[in-house]
Amino acid sequence: MRIVLFLLIFISTFNFAQDTKTPVQRDPYLQTPVKAKPVPSKPEDKVRIIHADEVKKSLDKYNGNQYLTGHVQIEHQGSILTADEVVIYEEENFVKAIGNTKLQNTDGSVITAGEMEYDANTQKGVARKNVVLTDPKGTVIKTETMYYDRLSNQAYYNTGGTINDGKSTTYAKTATYFLTTRIIDLTGRVKIEDAQYILEGDNVVQNQSTNIVDINGPTTITNKKNPKNRIVTDKGNYNTNTKEAFLYKNSRVFYNDKILTGDTMYFNQLTGFGKATGNVTLDDPKERRFIKGGYGEIFEKKDSSMMTKNPYAVKAFEKDSIYFAAEKIISYQKPDALDINVKKSFLRAYKKARFYKSNAQGRADSIAFNETDGIMHMYTKPILWSGEKQVTGDKVEAYFNTATEDLDSLKVIGNAFAITKVDSLTLKDEFNQVKGKYMTVYYEKNDIKEARVVGNAQSIAYVDDVNKETKKPERIGITLSTCGIIGALFEEKALQIISCSIGANSDTYPMSRIEPAKRKFTDFNWNTKDRIRKWQDILVDTPNYEEIKYTSDDKLYNQAQEAIEKAQAKEEAKKPKRTRK
């Protein structure tokens, strides 16, 4: 108590104005003193000494300014500074603290360092050597040099440092910490790391209260357990507690060897759910397949995804590719039933589904494609085209050879119907047809070669032969066949019935003897309006091509009918006519 009393009396009676002192050398961050600057008139504006073991003054030390040593405590505006030694520049209301310095601020924050400088006029300070700032909520900042401003209640460093909130650690070259809002503005390269994830980026803002990081430059958020799973973006927000990312620019989500991109995106690293809007792409390099659309969702833990708003998918092959479109496309992977270590990939297209491949095109209400095994299922009013051939039924199954990438065969289940144009180079209304309950279609060199029809099998086949004199093909007529089972061979311009068994009945009619109505089955449905002729046609519900007008060749039949009618008229004329009396 005596020492404190002595210090107060000593300071109040010592006349510093009589000494000529050189202004203190300050850090550039601190305000440069003005020679004529008056000493603050209010007592609370001046630094107040609470305690010191000794008060010293030497002309050859600290330019003749007094200094305090031993358990020094000084106070200013409610904040307490302690140190081993403190130099007081009374005229400038400025202090330098040396050794085990500690500043306890009124807001509860604490700064410790090897040395400090403090300007009581501006309430700005500099701390150096093993600086540690701890805020009331437990955030700890460590650096070598820190600049702080008590009026704006912020701290700044540019010498590199760490920020720890108990859950994560932030590494940054430069940072400004606003203690009131607990917001940290981090510039340059930044790294935020917790037990599960690492965020690395340029120029981010970290909110210690909400644990939300604002991303303002190229940034990557990496899963430490599986580094291939990561988020990349140039702008967004990331919640370090919930692991939710909101992404707005040049963003990508990498998961399970897949990549999701979009104009605006959301991804939850804990649940594995993500969504994207605008120019969405889901790329699967392993499957060599990507899906595009206006809106998409991914489910990392289920290894599945969904795309809507005019979606389409492209499955790339070495020699060819297959394209899909629908109102909704779903892709997923699941373990093989025979080997759980092997994953199979599946694609589903729902509502108005379409697909295109160079040698086969089709549409149905829905399409299911086993990408691994190369099996495609077409449900509800399926229709498949291959060259100038068309196949329809209740359900169509297409089998692709995964090695050659070619279409090997089709299975048509229920109301199977195959149609082929007799001559694709003409517009004659001539079509070979075969139908039945079930049909298996075999391909050769990417074209339909053979069909086997089972159950109420029927066929209409145009028959040609080579004229021995002219050596040119000549139309013989049309063969109508009904059998339990039909084997049909599709040749260039002909349908050859190679087998007809079980209740077989087959008749060939010359063109003059078969009326036009019997040249087609009643459910004949040759479709040229909705035909997919190029891959871009899948991008619309229907390309709505103008229906092709075919010309029916009824000349021989009409001539025969005319001859019959004339003969009947002659016979009628020969009959005696009765007259009434």
Band (531; pLDDT cuts 50, 70, 90): very high
The 10 Å Cβ neighbour count of residue 172 is 25
What is the pLDDT at residue 31? 65
Long-range contacts of 552-555 (CB under 8 A, 24+ apart): 552/428, 552/429, 552/516, 553/428, 553/429, 553/430, 553/511, 554/516
Long-range contacts of 286-294 (CB under 8 A, 24+ apart): 286/257, 287/315, 287/345, 287/371, 288/315, 288/316, 288/317, 289/313, 289/314, 289/315, 289/316, 289/331, 289/345, 289/347, 289/371, 290/314, 291/329, 291/331, 293/329
Band (97; pLDDT cuts 50, 70, 90): very high
Q: How far is CA 235 from the centre of its chain?
A: 16
Band (468; pLDDT cuts 50, 70, 90): confident
What is the pLDDT at residue 7? 37
Which pLDDT tens digit goes with each residue over 215-261?
999 999 999 999 999 999 999 999 999 999 999 999 999 999 999 99
Do 528 and 514 contact (CB within 8 A), yes or no?
no
What is the pLDDT at residue 43? 65
SS3 category, 319: coil
Band (58; pLDDT cuts 50, 70, 90): confident
Which pLDDT tens digit goes with each residue over 156-170?
999 999 999 988 999
User: Which range has the worst mean pLDDT, 352-361, 439-448, 493-502, 505-514?
Assistant: 493-502
Band (12; pLDDT cuts 50, 70, 90): very low
Paired with 275 in beta bridges are 266, 297
Do 465 and 473 contact (CB within 8 A), yes or no?
yes
Tokens representing 121?
């006029």
556's enclosing H/E stretch is helix 555-574
CA distance 222 to 226: 8
Give the pairing type, strands 235-239 and 258-262: unpaired
Pick the closest to residue 209 from 160, 167, 256 (CA basis).
Answer: 167
Do 169 and 183 contact (CB within 8 A), yes or no?
no
Band (1; pLDDT cuts 50, 70, 90): very low
What is the pLDDT at residue 22? 64
Mean pLDDT over 533-554 rounds to 89
Q: Is the pLDDT of residue 60 over 80?
A: no
Q: Give all domains of the chain, ordered by start, each with its CATH number.
A: 251-381 (2.60.450.10), 388-574 (no CATH)
Do 348 and 377 contact (CB within 8 A), yes or no?
no
453's enclosing H/E stretch is strand 447-466
Q: Which is higher by pLDDT, 7 or 27?
A: 27
Q: Residue 281: what are its φ and ψ, rounded to 5°?
A: -135, 130
What is the pLDDT at residue 16? 37
Amino acid 381 reads K
Mean pLDDT over 540-550 rounds to 90
Q: Is the pLDDT of residue 274 over 90?
A: yes
Q: E strands, 150-286, where?
A: 154-157, 161-164, 169-178, 183-193, 197-207, 212-215, 219-223, 230-233, 235-239, 244-249, 251-255, 258-262, 264-268, 273-284
Output the pTM of the full model: 0.82
**Is 140 exposed, middle or buried (CB count within 10 Å of its CB: 0-12, 13-18, 19+)?**
middle
What is the pLDDT at residue 5? 36
For every residue of 397-434, DSSP letters joined together read: EEEE-TTT--EEEEEEEEEEEEEEES-TTS-B--EEEE
Give the chain's mean pLDDT.
Answer: 87
Pick the closest to residue 216 from 224, 206, 226, 225 (CA basis).
Answer: 206
SS3 category, 315: strand
What is the pLDDT at residue 61? 82
Mean pLDDT over 61-89 rounds to 89
3-state helix, strand, coil in the chain (%, to 5): 10, 55, 35
Mean pLDDT over 528-557 rounds to 88
11's enclosing H/E stretch is helix 2-13
Which pLDDT tens digit goes with each residue over 106-118?
888 999 999 999 9
Give the pairing type, strands 505-509 and 304-308: unpaired
Mean pLDDT over 77-103 rounds to 90
What is the pLDDT at residue 258? 95
Do 352 and 326 contact (CB within 8 A), yes or no?
yes
Tokens representing 129?
């050597």
Which pLDDT tens digit goes with each residue over 158-204?
999 999 998 899 999 999 999 999 999 999 899 999 999 999 999 99
What is the pLDDT at residue 9? 35
What is the pLDDT at residue 21? 56
Q: Is the pLDDT of residue 551 over 90?
A: no
The 10 Å Cβ neighbour count of residue 335 is 11
Mean pLDDT over 259-265 rounds to 97
The percentage of residues in the chain with a pLDDT greater than 70, rounded to a whole number, is: 91
Band (493; pLDDT cuts 50, 70, 90): low
What is the pLDDT at residue 6? 36
CA distance 106 to 103: 10
